[in-house]
Amino acid sequence: MRRLVAKLGSVAFTVTISVGLIILLVTSTSMEAARGTSFAQKVFYQTRWFDLLIALLWINIFCSTVIRFPFRKEQSGFLITHIGILGILASALVMKHAGIDGQMALVEGETAGAIKEAGYVLAVQYPNQEESYLDLRQGSVQLVFTKDRLNSQTPFCPLQKKSSLQGKDVPGVAVTLRIANILEHATESQKVVEGAPASAKNRAVHVRLKSRQMGLDASSWLLERDEGNSSSREAMAGAVRLSLREKKNIASNPEPVLKVCDKDGKEILSVKAGDKDIPQVIAVNKTGYSIKGLAFYPYASVTPKGLANVPAGRAPNPAVSFDLVDAKGEAIHKIAFAFFPDFESMHPGKDKQASGLKFRLEAGEPEDYSAASVDGAQISLLYADAGVWRYEARLNGKVTSEGDVVPEKVLPAGWMDVQFEVDQVLEHARVGYDVVRSSSEQDPMAAKIVVPGTANEDNIWVVENRPSPLTLTQGTVSLFLTTKSRELPFTVTLKQFRRIDYPGTMDAQGFESDVVLKDAARGVVLEKTISMNHPLSYGGYKLFQSSYSDPGSGAKTSIFTVARNPGIPFIYISSIIAVLGAMLQFKGSKDETV
């Protein structure tokens, strides 16, 4: 035992553990620089083994102190310093989990008595608006449908909303769900696959772009058509505009033609939309409908005022707009895009007429369109009918590099050190979406919920801040992810939030919140202003000004950090002891030269 203590308290062990910690911490900070703060916290600092290492350091200091017993007078500096350091480390280790740390966001005029803590719960809102909270961890969870909960007639009442009935206390029908996957940061990813060869042509390329100088390593799909995205033929990768265009000579550029088909898909009318003198009213054969005020936009873009020509700096997407007038003279406004034929189905409007007519615009790029007019850096991928692909890179309109696309061959852009590569080429692309893990800490949390046993084992993804409805045989519930909350022994009301700028600038000089703190149990009412570096202390809690949001007009939101750390006084006292001891040691120390 004595020998073990001597070993653990030896200088050699001190140096070993110090060097070990140094190597570990150098690694962890480098990882943090590369992969973000929360990664480093999760993988290093918040782990048990890290606590264990610090504990080992504690044991080393403790043993080194013990083996010097009985102490001589000149060792008092050494002794006090080491006791102080032992105190700091012990308080830090023991109190690590004793503290409370959360956020409170208040809109001006609002009162709250709870904080949000780190961590999430799965919230279930039953048909009667009642909410219950379930632990968010992989495995099974139970929803309990009681009679009350199924009663959707209960009027919405915010006060009743938070009654947290424990499911098992109330008899009812239980449904088991499974949390199959939890992603701390998730994003919707586009999944592009080759569809059936018989399906309509829809060309797509996957382009990967790299530049060390610009810190760029991005990839993107470019699609001829995509239901959800009118600008699928373009993408930005860093500062570079990628686009997918048809390679053709201008002479063969098709004239824009608006084709009208009936319910069965039979073409019944075709109008040359680009003509200068289109008649004001065009009758649609044998249907009683007519097209009025047909207008063609070669560079169409949807603006709040309707369609407009916005040619600057983008690949064109021609469109027509017109009124469809029925026999009674009632009109509805219609829009058809050449490269976005599904616009109509996504924006159905008030189609009172139910004409069943389908409109399709066939058009190429406008004759005067030229990639040369696009500012900045761009890479275009050009397709021709024969399935041959070419590329063209330009900087401020000037061609810097062009040639044939060879899949998976790295091609130069001709400016800076940008290189790109086309790694997939599809002819009949089909688009789907999937929720995947994201590396960005800004992205929301998501959980995958599986309903076992049902015929369609449909998985639903519940994404933070977005309620997801789930229909079961018992009724429809709403699932959402929310942060854990903790009740405080007092309430806080935000009266006003102010941001003060340095005169003549947009740079903040300070943030201030006027608050009223009420502790009903003790009959305390405090009116204070919290500002940066000037927190409000009450009952061991401290409220710090942490952030804010200002919508521009109306009430502002002030965000406070609320913390309670019972270990702090111990750390402060230990620190004072350690520093005083070190000074004493410094005064009495003699350098023992080798």
| Residues 237-256 contacting another protein, CB under 8 A | 238-241
Q: How much of the chain is helix, strand and coil, in % rounded to 5?
A: 20, 45, 35
Distance CA 543, CA 113 (A): 12
Q: Binding of another protein at residue 29 (CB under 8 A)?
A: yes
373 near another protein, rule: CB under 8 A: no
Residue 217 has a CB neighbour count (10 Å cut-off) of 12
Give CA torsion, residues 242, 248, 254, 258, to 10 deg.
Answer: -30
Q: Which stretch binds another protein (CB under 8 A): 41-49, 163-171, 455-463, 551-559?
A: 41-49
Q: Indicate which single residue of 213, 249, 345, 553 sits in contact with another protein (rule: CB under 8 A).
A: 213
Q: Which is nearer to another protein, 388 or 508 (CB)?
A: 508
Q: Where are the beta strands (DSSP E) in 363-441?
A: 377-383, 389-395, 398-404, 410-412, 419-426, 429-437
Give CA–CA dist 109/505, Å, rounded: 28
φ, ψ (nearest 5 deg) of residue 101: -150, 115
Question: Three-class SS of residue 532?
Answer: coil
Contact status: 510 vs another protein (CB under 8 A): yes
Give the range of 258-266, 384-392, 427-435, 531-539 binding another protein by CB under 8 A.
531-539
**Residue of 179, 186, 121, 164 lying closest to 483 (CA atoms):** 121
Nearer to another protein by C-beta: 14 or 474? Answer: 14
Q: Using the rule CB under 8 A, is 542 a contact of another protein?
A: yes
Strands (E), 466-507: 468-471, 476-501
Residue 384: phi and psi, rounded to 5, are -120, 170
Q: Which stretch binds another protein (CB under 8 A): 39-47, 158-166, 359-367, 467-475?
A: 39-47
Residue 296 in contact with residue 320, Cβ under 8 Å? yes
Interface with another protein (CB under 8 A), residue from 124, 470, 517, 562? 562
User: Closer to another protein at the Cβ: 132 or 401?
Assistant: 401
> Does 413 interact with another protein (rule: CB under 8 A)?
no
Contact 240, 209 (CB under 8 A): yes
Under DSSP, the state recorded for 209 is: E
User: What is the smallest separation between the CB atom of 434 and another protein, expressed in angstroms?
Assistant: 20
Task: Return the residue of 396, 459, 476, 549 that touches another protein, per CB under 8 A.
Answer: 396
Interacting stretch for another protein, rule CB under 8 A, among 152-160, 169-177, 350-358, 415-423?
Answer: 415-423
Residue type, 523: G
Query: Which of 535, 536, 558, 577 lies at the binding interface for another protein (CB under 8 A)?
Result: 535
Q: Which is nearer to another protein, 313 or 469 (CB)?
A: 313
* 3-class secondary structure per residue, 361-372: EECCCCCCCCHH
Q: Of the candidates 74, 342, 367, 501, which one interacts with another protein according to CB under 8 A?
A: 501
Q: Is 311 one of the binding residues for another protein (CB under 8 A)?
A: no
Compute the least distance from the CB of residue 222 to another protein, in Å.
18
301 binding another protein? (CB under 8 A): no
Q: Does an H or E element contain 417, and which? A: none
Q: Is residue 72 a contact point for another protein (CB under 8 A)? A: no
Q: Are strands 319-325 and 290-297 parallel, antiparallel or unpaired?
A: antiparallel
Q: Is 37 in the site for another protein (CB under 8 A)?
A: yes
Contact between 579 and another protein by CB under 8 A: the answer reads yes
Assess 502 for contact with another protein (CB under 8 A): yes
119/103 Cα distance (integer angstroms): 12
CA gap 238, 214 in Å, rounded: 8
Q: Which of 532, 539, 540, 566 binds another protein (CB under 8 A)?
A: 532
How many residues sit in the footprint of another protein (CB under 8 A)? 83
Stretch of 121-129, 252-260, 518-526, 572-580 contacting another protein, by CB under 8 A? 572-580
Cα–Cα distance for residue pair 74/64, rounded to 1 Å? 16
Minimum Å distance from CB 579 to another protein? 5
Q: Which residue has the tokens 């040369």?
A: 372
Q: Which of 321, 468, 491, 575 binds another protein (CB under 8 A)?
A: 575
Residue 273 to residue 293: CA distance in whole angstroms? 11
Pseudo-torsion of CA 473, 478, 479, 480, nearest 10°?
Answer: 170
Determine the Cα–Cα distance for residues 14 and 27; give it in Å rounded to an integer: 20
Is 375 among the residues that bind another protein (CB under 8 A)?
yes
Shortest Cβ distance from residue 422 to another protein (Å)? 21
Is position 264 an interface residue for another protein (rule: CB under 8 A)?
no
CB 234, CB 240: distance < 8 Å? no
CA 384 to chain centre: 38
Tell whether residue 36 is a contact of another protein (CB under 8 A). yes
- The window from 17-25, 327-335, 385-393, 476-484 that contacts another protein (CB under 8 A) reads 17-25
**Taking CB under 8 A as the rule, does residue 341 contact another protein?**
no
Residue 180 contacts another protein per CB under 8 A: no
Q: H or E element: which one contains 512? A: strand 508-519
Region from 146-154, 343-351, 436-444, 478-486 binding another protein, contact rule CB under 8 A? 436-444
Q: Identify the residue among 153, 442, 465, 553 touching another protein (CB under 8 A).
A: 442
Is 214 one of the binding residues for another protein (CB under 8 A)? yes
The site string for another protein over 77-96 (x = CB under 8 A, - otherwise) reads: -----------x---x----
